[in-house]
Copies of this chain bind each other. A is one copy, B any other.
Amino acid sequence: MGVTIKDVAKLANVSPSTVSRVISNSPRISEATKNAVYAAMDTLKYKPNAIARNLANASTKTLGLIIPNREENLLKNPFFIQAMRGISLYSQKKNYKIMFSYGASPADELNFVREFVNSKWVDGIILLTAYENDQCIAYLNQQSFPFVVIGRPFDIHDILWVDNDNFQATYNLVNHLIQKGMHEMAFVGGPKRFIFSKDRLEGFRRAMALRNLSIDERMVIEMPDFSEEYGYQAMAAICDEHVPQAVVTTDDLLAFGVMKYVREHGLSVRVTGFNNSPLSEYQTPPLTSIDIQAEKLGYHAAKLLIESLEGIENPMNHYIVDTTLIERGSTR
Contact = CB atoms under 8 A, between A and B. Distances in A.
The 7 lowest CB-CB distance pairs between A and B, nearest first, are A50-B119, A47-B118, A75-B78, A88-B102, A76-B278, A282-B282, A51-B54
Copy number in this complex? 2
A119 B49 contact: yes
A39 interface: no
Interface of A: 2, 47-52, 54-55, 60, 62, 69, 74-76, 78, 80-82, 85, 88-89, 92, 97-102, 118-121, 256, 278-279, 282-284
Contact of A85 (B69, B78, B88, B278): B69
A74 to B, nearest CB: 6
Contacts of A62: 99
Nearest to A117: B47
A102 B74 contact: no
A121 B51 contact: yes
A54 B60 CA distance: 12
Contacts of A120: 2, 49-51
Given A49-B119, A75-B82, A120-B50, A99 B97 contact: yes
A97 B50 CA distance: 16
A99 to B, nearest CB: 5
